[in-house]
Amino acid sequence: MTTGPLILGIETSCDETGVAVVSGGEVLATVLSSQVDAHARFGGVVPEIAARAHIEAIRPMVHLALRRAGVHSDQLDAVAATRGPGLVGALMVGYSFGKAMAWTLGAPFVGIDHMEGHLFAPRLEHVDFVPPAVVLLASGGHSQIVHVREWGDYEILGSTIDDAAGEAFDKIARFMGLGFPGGPVLDRAAEGGDPDIVKFPRALRERPYHFSFSGLKTSVVTFLEKAKAAGNVPPLADVAAAVQEAIVDVLVDKTFNAVEATGVERVAGGGGVLANRRLRERFREEANRRGVALHLPSPALCTDNGAMIAAAGEFHLKRGDVTPWIADVSSSLRLGAS
């Protein structure tokens, strides 16, 4: 028996159609239709293709999630869907579908900030994850260090001034000819590599919580071009490991700067980059060393999924934050801005 309202969560902000049924913070079913193959030959997500693929997937995915959860749509207490940020055409598919479904069922509809969804992901597996906490959010479009004072009360301590961490993984992997999406391929390529063959720059040391990754990209390009010209290109695994270490280093350093400054006893993470194995290892080491509790979602809940949207939806529903029917998607929604 579940202990909370039954929430359907829909995520379509980028290239994954994620649908889940959650109740009382428990995931009853979560399904995902990935579009990786459709975008791979373009080396990145093509917004038009993403929107069309969501249109094809949304209905079967919703049916599949309900069936796996053993729930009939009539039983749902609310429908939650990602409202932004993300690709506007992609967002519109899940958001409109969710809104229409809620309307038809006579149930409340809750539009969710995608990044707040990532904040809620650790809670699905860690019941002891309660604020105050510092959370690193690192995805393809955003990198933020958030001081979660309370659920719904977020202080953004730092963010990227140029590329997001996931974007850095994606762009550098693409330049290295590793394929798409760059994060997971670079993670695998770095296996067994020696990260010390070259030390790429760690930018913005002087700003404790802010990130900058575009200089790293330039420095990897320059390094590889010089190495090629000299006929002296190091093994791919070593270069990948050095790139990964440069990104992971700053993410870990700055997150723990925030842990220290705020004095919180819990640290967590969310977003696709938190699936990175080296980052997870470094987070574990650092949290242990400092004696703070660490709450990392399992990798499948770090990347985009419907369960985190349903979890955030459950929180907002309980607070009475129901989204008006006239509200539309907002591709530039910013966490902590409202």
With CB under 6 A, what is the number of residues at the site for ligand KG4?
19
- CB of 159 within 8 A of CB of 170? no
- Angle separating helix axes 214-229 and 165-175, nearest 10 degrees: 20
- Contact map string, positions 281 to 320, toward Zn ion, x by CB under 5 A: -----------------------x----------------
Indicate whether 139 belongs to the interface with ligand KG4 (CB under 6 A): yes
- In the complex, least distance from residue 217 CB atom to Zn ion, rounded to whole angstroms: 21
Q: Is 152 left (phi over 0), alpha (psi -120 to 50) or beta?
A: left
Indicate whether 276 belongs to the interface with Zn ion (CB under 5 A): no
Tokens at 68, concatenated: 């796996």
Please give the Cα distance from 331 to 338 (Å, whole number): 15
- In the complex, least distance from residue 63 CB atom to ligand KG4, rounded to whole angstroms: 23
- In the complex, least distance from residue 116 CB atom to ligand KG4, rounded to whole angstroms: 12
Name which position in 97, 169, 211, 256 contacts ligand KG4 (CB under 6 A). Answer: 169
Indicate whether 12 belongs to the interface with Zn ion (CB under 5 A): no
Name which position in 184, 297, 306, 313 contacts ligand KG4 (CB under 6 A). Answer: 184
Residue closer to ligand KG4 (CB basis): 58 or 71: 58
Q: Which helix (H) or strand (E) covers residue 34, if one does?
A: strand 26-34
By three-state DSSP, how is residue 180 classified? coil
- In the complex, least distance from residue 172 CB atom to ligand KG4, rounded to whole angstroms: 10
Positions in 276-305 near ligand KG4 (CB under 6 A): 276, 303-304
Residue closer to ligand KG4 (CB basis): 111 or 184: 184
Q: What are phi and psi of 268, to 5 degrees?
A: -145, 180
Indicate whether 166 belongs to the interface with ligand KG4 (CB under 6 A): yes
Q: Judging by beta carbons within 10 Å of its beta carbon (0-12, 13-18, 19+), is residue 163 exposed, middle or buried?
A: buried
Please give the Cα distance from 78 to 313 (Å, whole number): 8
Indicate whether 306 belongs to the interface with ligand KG4 (CB under 6 A): no
- Contact map string, positions 110 to 149, toward Zn ion, x by CB under 5 A: -----------------------------x----------
Residues found near Zn ion in the complex (CB under 5 A): 139, 304
Residues found near ligand KG4 in the complex (CB under 6 A): 14, 139-141, 166, 169-170, 181-184, 187, 271-273, 275-276, 303-304
